[in-house]
Amino acid sequence: MTEIIFREAIKRGLAEALDSNPNVFIMGEDIGEYGGAYAVTDGFLAKYGPERIIDTPISEAAFVGAGIGAAAAGLRPVVELMSMSFALVAFDQIVNMAANLRYMSGGQIEVPLLIRAPTGAGVQLGATHSQSFETWMAEVPGMRCVCPSNPYDALGLIRTALKERNPVLFAEPALLYGVRGEVPDHYYEIPFGSANVQRAGEDVTLISYGAGMRVLDAAASELEAKGVSAEVIDLRSLSPVDYDTLLTSIEKTNRVLALDTGRRRGGMMAEIAAELQERAVEWLDGPVVRVGAEDVPWPYNRGLEQESYPQPADVLAALNKHYGL
């Protein structure tokens, strides 16, 4: 096992694809000479050249559209957005075109496009650069949507993404780029639609993804100190969702809390909660509890941003209120 940081895991997966497949290329804003907003593509321009590492103008609609066309023509493009917030500028291309072309052509046109984007708040980027729109795009049929929480998952999921025949949104929590973790030296992949039980427990099931896993892990440690055993599950894949793992856990614990680090209203966990309430009601000893960010634009001020961002204390308070834990 080798310990690397989150961004290096993504970089390793991209380099493997560039080395092994001449049809792979990357394009986005400042990914070449500058090395990417979060240094994921640092050094790639010198190694692979400007035909495969392409700096684009500041027009997400244009270069996402170019990526769709390249994918439909048989190439395997990787498009980097500087922020998930900027996916809004390319929503027509992503949602109407990339996600629908295979279906509308009766399978004649495939769009093996990988879209990477930093996502989420917590790093003082203000209201217009801190959105978590992977929760929106997870709803779109024809797309795959994943969000890793550690270097191991980041590498395994990006390897899978780079073989997927459908467009993939690869959400990279901005808070996690410097997080360290162990990665095997041997090759492995993580299939989409496979959640990970990060921590086994008996008394309550805690569910999140991405940066939310750090919040849940801290909350689980505090619960353990009080004698409460929490099972912590990382979704990893938002589309498809591994409901089998969630239901198996709830059948054991009879209690569940779902955490969004994005806003609670309309978040990914609203869908998870509705599905679990329908499919697991006979096992539940209480409601599906949800915790999320405050329903306000993300503040730039550090203190206010942290006040808006869900904390372990919010998880503990919600569990105490609804389950008496």
Secondary structure of the chain in HEC code, one letter for each residue: CEEEEHHHHHHHHHHHHHHHCCCEEEEECCCCCCCCCCCCCCCHHHHHCCCCEEECCCCHHHHHHHHHHHHHCCCEEEEECCCHHHHHHHHHHHHHHHCCHHHHCCCCCCCCCEEEEEECCCCCCCHHHCCCCHHHHCCCCCCEEECCCCHHHHHHHHHHHCCCCCCEEEEEEHHHCCCEEEECCCCCCCCCCCCEEEECCCCEEEEECCCHHHHHHHHHHHHHHCCCCEEEEECCEEECCCHHHHHHHHHHHCCEEEEEEEECCCCHHHHHHHHHHHHCCCCCCCCCEEEEECCCCCCCCHHHHHHHCCCHHHHHHHHHHHHCC
Kindly state the average pLDDT of the residues 76-103. Answer: 96
At 45, is the pLDDT very low, low, confident or very high (cuts 50, 70, 90)?
Answer: very high
What's the mean pLDDT when you consider all of the chain? 96
For residue 132, pLDDT beyond 90: yes
For residue 220, pLDDT beyond 90: yes
- Specify burial of residue 30 (Cβ count, 10 A radius: 0-12, 13-18, 19+): middle
Q: Is the dihedral of CA 55, 57, 59, 62 positive or negative?
A: negative
Q: Give 156-165 pLDDT, tens digit per residue.
A: 999 999 999 9
CA nearest to 99, candidates 169, 25, 161? 169
Q: Give 231-243 pLDDT, tens digit per residue.
A: 999 999 999 999 9
CA nearest to 146, candidates 120, 115, 176? 115
For residue 257, pLDDT beyond 90: yes
State residue 9's pLDDT score. 98
Q: What are phi and psi of 144, to 5 degrees?
A: -105, 145
Tell me the two tokens of residue 236.
């990893």
At 39, is the pLDDT very low, low, confident or very high (cuts 50, 70, 90)?
Answer: very high
- Percent of the chain exceeding pLDDT 90 equals 98
Q: Taking each helix axis from N to C terminus, what angle separates 268-279 and 243-253, rounded to the nearest 10 degrees?
A: 60
| Residues of each domain in the chain carrying CATH 3.40.50.920 | 196-323
* Chain-centre distance for alpha carbon 184: 21
- CATH architecture of the domain formed by 196-323: 3-Layer(aba) Sandwich (3.40)
| CA distance linking residue 237 with residue 195, whole number of Å | 7
| Residues of each domain in the chain carrying CATH 3.40.50.970 | 2-183
At 273, is the pLDDT very low, low, confident or very high (cuts 50, 70, 90)?
Answer: very high
The bridge status of strand 144-146 relative to strand 114-119 is: unpaired
Kindly state the average pLDDT of the residues 270-285. Answer: 95
| Identified catalytic residue from 8, 80, 129, 231 | 129
Q: Give 170-212 pLDDT, tens digit per residue.
A: 999 999 999 999 999 999 999 999 999 999 999 999 999 999 9
| Identified catalytic residue from 8, 29, 60, 134 | 60
For residue 1, pLDDT beyond 90: no
60 catalytic per annotation: yes
Kindly state the average pLDDT of the residues 94-116. Answer: 97
First-to-last alpha carbon distance for the chain, in angstroms, is: 37
At 92, is the pLDDT very low, low, confident or very high (cuts 50, 70, 90)?
Answer: very high
Q: Which CATH number is correct for 2-183, 3.60.20.10, 3.40.50.970, 3.30.360.10, 3.90.1150.50?
A: 3.40.50.970
